[in-house]
Chains A and B, each alone.
Chain A
Amino acid sequence: MERTEMSISGIGRSQGGLYSHVRLDGMVKINGDTDCLSFDSNGTLTLEGALQSEAVTVNGTATVEGRVNANRMMLDGLVTFKDQAVCHESLTANGRLSIAGGLIGEKVEIFGSLKTRGGVQCEWFHVHGGFNIGGLLNAGMIDVKLSMPSKVNEIGGDAISVKRFKKVSVLEQVVPAFSARLQAEVIEGDEIDLEYTEANIVRGNVVRIGKGCKIGRVEYKDRLIREDDATIEKAQQI
Chain B
Amino acid sequence: MNEEDLISKKELLELTGISYGQLYRWKRKNLIPEEWFVRKSAFTGQETFFPKDKILQRIERIKNMKDGLSLDELADVFSPSSNIQSMSSAQLIERNIVTSISLALFEEVAGRQETLSFDDILTVYVLQKLLQGGDMTRDEGKMLIAVMREHYGAFASKPCELALVRKMGVPLLFLAESAEQIYFDKDAKWIFRLPLAASIEELKLKLNETEA
A residues near B (Cβ < 8 Å) are 121-123, 138-140, 156-159, 185-186, 188-190, 200-201, 203-205, 217, 219, 221, 238
Contact = CB atoms under 8 A, between A and B. Distances in A.
A21 B10 CA distance: 50
Given A138-B28, A140-B25, A158-B25, A205 B19 contact: yes
B14 A138 contact: no
Given A186-B46, A189-B21, 20 more contacts: A121-B28, A140-B21, A140-B25, A156-B20, A156-B24, A156-B27, A157-B20, A157-B21, A157-B24, A158-B24, A159-B21, A185-B46, A186-B45, A188-B20, A200-B45, A203-B10, A203-B20, A205-B19, A217-B44, A221-B19
Contacts of B23: 156
Contacts of A156: 20, 23-24, 27
5 closest A-B pairs by CB: A158-B21, A190-B21, A156-B24, A188-B20, A190-B19
Given A121-B28, A123-B28, A238-B14, A185 B21 contact: no
A189 B45 contact: no
Interface in B45-73: 45-46
B24 A188 contact: yes
Contacts of B14: 238
Contacts of A189: 20-21, 24
7 contacts: A138-B28, A157-B24, A188-B20, A188-B24, A189-B21, A205-B20, A221-B19
A219 B46 CA distance: 15
Nearest to B23: A156
B20 A204 contact: yes
Contacts of B28: 121-123, 138-140
Nearest to B20: A188
Interface of B: 9-10, 14, 19-21, 23-25, 27-28, 44-46
B27 A138 contact: yes
A185 B45 contact: yes
Nearest to A188: B20
A203 B45 CA distance: 14
B200 to A, nearest CB: 25
A138 B32 CA distance: 14
Contacts of B44: 200-201, 217
Contacts of A121: 28
Contacts of B27: 138, 156
A159 B27 CA distance: 16
Contact of A190 (B9, B20, B46): B20
A138 B46 contact: no
A238 B20 CA distance: 13
A159 B45 CA distance: 23
Contacts of A139: 28
A123 B44 CA distance: 29
Contacts of B24: 138, 156-158, 188-189
A159 B44 CA distance: 24
Contacts of B20: 156-157, 188-190, 203-205
A166 B27 CA distance: 34
Interface centre among A139, A156, A159, A217 (most CB of B within 10 A): A156
A33 B106 CA distance: 44
A189 B24 CA distance: 8
A123 B28 CA distance: 8
A217 B47 CA distance: 14
Contacts of A123: 28
